[in-house]
């Protein structure tokens, strides 16, 4: 497993790489623009070069972009849907320019129309974006599972399985699994037995083979709460031990696992140390 954190790009994109390396990260996740705005200035050539060479020099290859929170690829509202698709095209193009292989995007929300319609629209959106970014080979779109809050899609892993099925022909599609979201959606993995059962479910739904990135977050709320609120590793309802099962599982040997926890850079540093310790003690 490659451990990393979602780091700020304040001071420039290359600065994010130094920030991540400074706390012991082996990979990193970034926003390439403000996560709460639709439009953004194009990336400057100099910033692109600086980021690419910082990653190259330090052997960071499995880097990740988190797409804007505004994007809803399942939106019933046609103007939001259009904006969302255009915004994801932009995210993929920016990531590709930066040499970043993964763009994580939330699966969206059906806003009361029902999951079936929502999943169909999500798949249509992703297919369109992939088509419009066919020149961005090497950059994949990863659908993230949700906590199941409100009308968000893919809290229920059966929905995520359906989305993966609906996009079966697409080579540049994958999945990002968030541990906080899994737990909040009701999937327990706090014992080895529960962890194994969850992996079995992921296999049976056709999801497991598509997982490219893990988000390692503890949950502020209890199992099945359906609330997306992250907590520092070990301080939440999931607890430290559960992360050992993921880390010890050989199938994730090459997989990046990124924290998006509260507590700032010092907490990230502690988490990187904790994970590395777990990795070496097995
Ligand atoms: Zn996440
Ligand atoms: Zn979350």
CA of 144 to the centre of ligand 1 (A): 7
Answer yes or no: 96 catalytic.
no
What per-residue confidence (pLDDT) applies to 37? 87
Q: How far is CA 64 from the centre of its chain?
A: 8
Query: How far is the C-alpha of 96 from the C-alpha of 135, rounded, in Å?
Result: 9
Query: How far is the C-alpha of 242 from the C-alpha of 97, rounded, in Å?
Result: 36
- In terms of pTM, does the model score above 0.85? yes
Ligand nearest to the CA of 67: 1
CA of 49 to the centre of ligand 2 (A): 31
Q: Give the phi and the psi of residue 248 in degrees, each rounded to 5.
A: -80, -15
List 6, 19, 66, 96, catalytic entry: 66
What per-residue confidence (pLDDT) applies to 36? 85
What per-residue confidence (pLDDT) applies to 39? 85
Query: How far is the C-alpha of 10 from the C-alpha of 33, rounded, in Å?
Result: 10
Answer yes or no: 158 catalytic.
no
Ligand nearest to the CA of 216: 1
What per-residue confidence (pLDDT) applies to 166? 98
Query: How far is the C-alpha of 209 from the C-alpha of 207, rounded, in Å?
Result: 6
What per-residue confidence (pLDDT) applies to 276? 98
Q: Shortest CA distance to 105 belongs to which of 145, 78, 132?
A: 145
Answer yes or no: 170 catalytic.
no
What per-residue confidence (pLDDT) applies to 34? 85
CATH class, 29-245 region: alpha beta
Q: Shortest CA distance to 219 belongs to which of 252, 175, 257, 187?
A: 187
Task: Enumerate residue ranges in the chain where pLDDT < 70.
Answer: none
What per-residue confidence (pLDDT) applies to 178? 99
What per-residue confidence (pLDDT) applies to 282? 72
CA of 228 to the centre of ligand 1 (A): 9
What per-residue confidence (pLDDT) applies to 10? 95
List 6, 94, 172, 181, catalytic entry: 181
What per-residue confidence (pLDDT) applies to 46? 97
CB atoms within 10 A of CB 108: 27
Q: At what angle do helices 115-132 and 78-97 cross, to 10 degrees?
A: 40
């Amino acid at each position: 497993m490659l451990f990393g954190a979602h780091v700020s790009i304040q001071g420039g994109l290359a600065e994010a790489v130094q920030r991540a390396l400074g706390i012991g990260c082996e990979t990193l996740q970034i926003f390439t623009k403000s996560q709460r705005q639709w439009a953004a200035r194009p990336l400057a050539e100099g910033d692109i070069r600086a980021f690419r060479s910082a990653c190259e020099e330090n052997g960071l290859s499995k880097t990740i972009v988190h797409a804007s929170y505004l994007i809803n690829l399942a939106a019933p509202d046609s103007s939001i849907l259009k904006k969302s698709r255009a915004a994801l095209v932009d995210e993929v193009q920016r990531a590709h320019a930066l040499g970043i292989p993964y763009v994580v995007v939330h699966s969206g929300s059906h806003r009361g129309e029902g999951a079936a319609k929502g999943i169909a629209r999500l798949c249509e959106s992703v297919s369109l974006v992939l088509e419009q970014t066919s020149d961005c080979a090497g950059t994949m779109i990863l659908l993230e599972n949700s906590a199941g809050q409100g009308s968000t899609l893919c809290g229920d892993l059966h929905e995520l399985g359906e989305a993966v099925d609906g996009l079966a022909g697409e080579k540049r599609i994958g999945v990002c699994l968030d541990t906080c979201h899994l737990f909040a959606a009701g999937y327990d993995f706090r014992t080895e037995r529960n962890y194994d059962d969850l992996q079995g479910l992921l296999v049976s739904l056709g999801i497991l083979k598509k997982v490219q990135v893990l988000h390692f977050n503890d949950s502020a709320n209890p199992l099945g709460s359906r609330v997306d609120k992250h907590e520092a590793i070990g301080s939440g309802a999931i607890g430290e031990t559960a992360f050992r099962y993921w880390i010890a599982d050989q199938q994730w040997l090459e997989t990046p696992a990124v924290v998006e926890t509260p507590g700032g850079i010092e907490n990230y540093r502690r988490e990187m140390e904790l994970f590395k310790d777990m990795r070496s003690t097995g």
